[in-house]
């Protein structure tokens, strides 16, 4: 029986999603099946077409063009329901390596309960990567726990996100 691990990439620094995507590419290169489920994102980031071209399953939920804090209550409920459905689909997706990008932030928002995610982590046989700002609620379950800390970022000096670098 193979041993699968849980990876957490968290913190306020850049690189969490990039590290998760890199791991999926490495795993695919080793012949493993991979899936990336992107929470709180609209799927327009430039890694998506490349991952698909490599045969890595990618999936997002229907997404609003609004930030959550700009949504009215009905929009928020619809958005949260779609994001929760994405989580349920991810839990049923058969693969060797499962990336749940920004799922920790989905938990912080109450879209996915901590108990739901913990139960899934405890029963899954896949290698699982969780990303998001705060991973401390799941640290006990993690085999890898990496905190990305922002020391300096060009956005702080007014440089907007750049295609191919930040998205």
The model's pLDDT over 84-127, given as tens digits with 9 standing for 90+, comes to 999 999 999 999 999 999 999 999 999 999 999 999 999 999 99
pLDDT score for 1: 35
pLDDT score for 2: 60
What is the pLDDT averaged over residues 12-32? 97
* Conformational region of residue 91, where left means phi above 0, alpha means psi within -120 to 50, and beta covers everything else: alpha
What is the pLDDT averaged over residues 41-58? 93
Tell me which H or E stretch contains 25. helix 16-29
Residue closest to 37 by CA, chosen among 104, 109, 113:
104
What domains can you pick out in the chain, each with its CATH number?
6-157 (3.40.50.300)
Position 136 pLDDT exceeds 60: yes
């Amino acid at each position: 029986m193979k041993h699968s691990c849980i990876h957490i990439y968290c913190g306020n620094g850049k690189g969490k999603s990039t590290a998760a995507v890199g791991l999926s590419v490495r795993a695919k290169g080793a012949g493993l099946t991979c899936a990336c489920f992107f929470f709180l994102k609209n799927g327009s980031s430039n890694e998506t077409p490349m991952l698909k071209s490599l045969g890595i399953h990618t999936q997002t939920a229907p997404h609003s063009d609004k930030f959550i804090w700009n949504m009215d209550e009905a929009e928020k409920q619809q958005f949260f329901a779609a994001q929760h459905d994405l989580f349920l689909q991810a839990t049923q997706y058969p693969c060797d390596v499962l990336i749940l990008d920004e799922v920790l932030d989905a938990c912080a928002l109450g879209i996915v309960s901590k108990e739901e995610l913990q139960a899934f982590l405890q029963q899954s046989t896949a290698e699982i990567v969780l990303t998001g700002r705060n991973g401390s609620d799941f640290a006990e379950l993690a085999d890898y726990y990496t905190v990305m800390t922002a020391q300096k970022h060009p956005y702080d000096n007014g440089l907007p996100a750049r295609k191919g670098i930040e998205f």
